[in-house]
């Protein structure tokens, strides 16, 4: 990766820097450097800081520097971007704001970066115009809540995420240095197949060179990564929905089980009636007032968690869990990639 040298390259670099500076939030020099590195610019942090100082001191560029605390933050101080005159209705602004919030780690960096100013413009219009007040207040009226104990998300290096998603987007192989759960690092070449977010963790579904089965690698455990100009080895007829259903994303092995439970709690019966496990679930009440649940589920540890959640209030009388073979399950046996993944 070449460093910036000529005047023309310097001009292009300044344009790239300006494109990365948002309007309604602060961005640090380190964040800008990571994005530039992903775009092919290898620039030392001190050099970038000098550029940012010059840019913020040039009035016509309309970039302000917040120097009240370190690291300094930068943002556009007037609507001079190509999206400044974008006319959005309050409803459109609300939709784009929600999309930008929830798609943060589900879009390739090349796309999310190009759309960042659109999202910024949407948020700006949402909160700056009186007519948008009902739509803006909607953000404080809806939320997505997980049933698990709240934890902080693992730290993912922006460069790692950027190159991983670029390889996935362009269907190119990746050379990665991966640290497994035991802390052992190994450099390997993989074909990226999919990106899956499970709660706060993001996994790269991939295939190791020389192996047939797929593996799920935690993105935050990738220590280093390099994009290769080699077409990825993508399985034929791969369907992500099927893979998720039969892989261990639900803490299972891809197999099924039959769950039969007898209980007395009418509260649990109502809960199962309102939100059944699936359409094939059977729930009946006998003459003695005992409820009988019969359902086929993915055999995962989440079943244990559900039982533990209800055990004090459901008045369980009998629980039977019988493993069954799912003919559509993804085959996980065969050639195995490096151990300890």
The DSSP-derived string for 99-154 is HHHHSTTTS-HHHHHHHHHHHHHHHHHHHH-GGGHHHHHHTTT-----SSPP-PPP
- How many angstroms separate the CA atoms of 295 and 259, rounded? 5
Judgement on whether residues 260 and 303 belong to the same structural domain of the protein: yes
**Tokens 């798609």, residue located:** 103
**Predicted local confidence at residue 80, as pLDDT:** 47
Judgement on whether residues 106 and 134 belong to the same structural domain of the protein: yes
Judgement on whether residues 255 and 234 belong to the same structural domain of the protein: no
Instruction: Report the candidate in 158, 103, 99, 105 with the shortest Cα–Cα distance to residue 123.
Output: 99
Query: At 265, which CATH number?
Result: 3.30.70.1150
Query: At 29, which CATH number?
Result: 1.10.10
Sheet with 63-66: strands ordered across: 27-28, 73-76, 63-66
What are the helix (H) ranges across the chain? 7-20, 29-38, 45-57, 90-102, 109-128, 133-138, 158-170, 240-246, 266-274, 301-310
Judgement on whether residues 55 and 13 belong to the same structural domain of the protein: yes
Would 330 be classed as within a structural domain? no
Query: At 219, which CATH number?
Result: 2.30.30
**Predicted local confidence at residue 268, as pLDDT:** 96
**Predicted local confidence at residue 168, as pLDDT:** 93
List the domain range (segments joined by +) for residue 228.
160-238
Would 16 be classed as within a structural domain? yes
Would 244 be classed as within a structural domain? no
Peptide bond into 227 cis (omega under 30): no
- How many angstroms separate the CA atoms of 66 and 74, rounded? 6
Judgement on whether residues 232 and 258 belong to the same structural domain of the protein: no
Judgement on whether residues 101 and 130 belong to the same structural domain of the protein: yes
Point out the residues of the chain with pLDDT beneath 70. 1-8, 78-86, 109-110, 113-114, 129-132, 146-150, 248-254, 325-341
Judgement on whether residues 227 and 296 belong to the same structural domain of the protein: no
**Predicted local confidence at residue 151, as pLDDT:** 72
DSSP conformation class of 6: S
Judgement on whether residues 166 and 212 belong to the same structural domain of the protein: yes
Judgement on whether residues 104 and 50 belong to the same structural domain of the protein: no
- How many angstroms separate the CA atoms of 109 and 39, rounded? 10
- CA 87 to chain CA mean position, Å: 29
- Burial level of 95, CB count in 10 A (0-12/13-18/19+)? middle
Would 121 be classed as within a structural domain? yes
- Number of structural domains the chain divides into: 4
Judgement on whether residues 290 and 225 belong to the same structural domain of the protein: no
**Predicted local confidence at residue 288, as pLDDT:** 95
Query: How many Cα neighbours within 13 Å face the side chain of 214?
Result: 27
Instruction: Report the candidate in 195, 204, 196 with the shortest Cα–Cα distance to residue 222.
Output: 204
DSSP conformation class of 340: -
Judgement on whether residues 228 and 258 belong to the same structural domain of the protein: no
Would 174 be classed as within a structural domain? yes
Would 245 be classed as within a structural domain? no
Look at residues 51, 76, 101 and tell me which one is the last residue of a structural domain: 76
First to last CA, the chain: 30
Question: Helix crossing, 29-38 with 109-128: angle to 10°?
Answer: 140
Would 155 be classed as within a structural domain? no
Would 69 be classed as within a structural domain? yes
Judgement on whether residues 255 and 317 belong to the same structural domain of the protein: yes
């Amino acid at each position: 990766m070449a460093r910036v040298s000529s005047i023309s390259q310097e001009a292009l670099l300044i344009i790239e820097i300006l494109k990365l500076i948002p309007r309604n939030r602060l961005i640090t020099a380190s964040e800008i450097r990571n994005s530039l590195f992903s775009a092919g610019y290898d620039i030392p942090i001190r050099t970038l800081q000098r550029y940012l100082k010059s840019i913020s001191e040039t009035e016509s560029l309309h970039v302000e520097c917040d120097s009240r605390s370190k690291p300094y933050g930068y943002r556009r101080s007037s609507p001079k971007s190509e999206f400044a005159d974008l006319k959005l209705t309050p409803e459109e602004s609300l939709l784009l704001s929600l999309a930008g919030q929830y798609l943060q780690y589900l879009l390739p960096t090349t796309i999310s970066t190009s759309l960042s100013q659109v999202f910024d413009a949407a948020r700006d219009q949402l909160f700056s115009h009186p007519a948008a007040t009902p739509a803006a207040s909607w953000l404080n009226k809806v939320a997505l809540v997980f049933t698990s104990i709240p934890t902080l998300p693992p730290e993912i290096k922006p460069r790692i995420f950027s190159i991983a998603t670029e390889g996935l987007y362009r269907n190119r192989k990746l050379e990665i240095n991966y640290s497994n759960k035991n802390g052992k690092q190994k450099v390997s070449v993989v074909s990226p197949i999919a990106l899956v977010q499970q709660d706060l963790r993001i996994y790269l579904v991939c295939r190791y060179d020389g192996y047939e089965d797929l593996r799920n690698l935690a993105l935050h455990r990738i220590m280093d990564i390099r994009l290769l100009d080699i077409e990825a080895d993508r399985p034929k007829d791969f369907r992500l929905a099927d893979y998720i259903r039969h892989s261990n994303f639900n803490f299972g092995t891809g197999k099924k089980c039959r769950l039969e439970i007898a209980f007395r709690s009418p509260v649990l019966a109502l809960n199962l009636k309102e939100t059944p496990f699936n359409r094939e679930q059977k729930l009946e009440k006998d003459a003695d007032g005992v409820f009988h649940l019969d359902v086929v589920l993915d055999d995962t540890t989440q079943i244990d968690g559900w039982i533990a959640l209800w055990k004090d209030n459901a008045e369980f009388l009998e629980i039977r869990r019988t493993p069954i073979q799912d003919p559509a399950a993804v085959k996980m046996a065969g050639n195995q990639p490096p151990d300890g993944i």
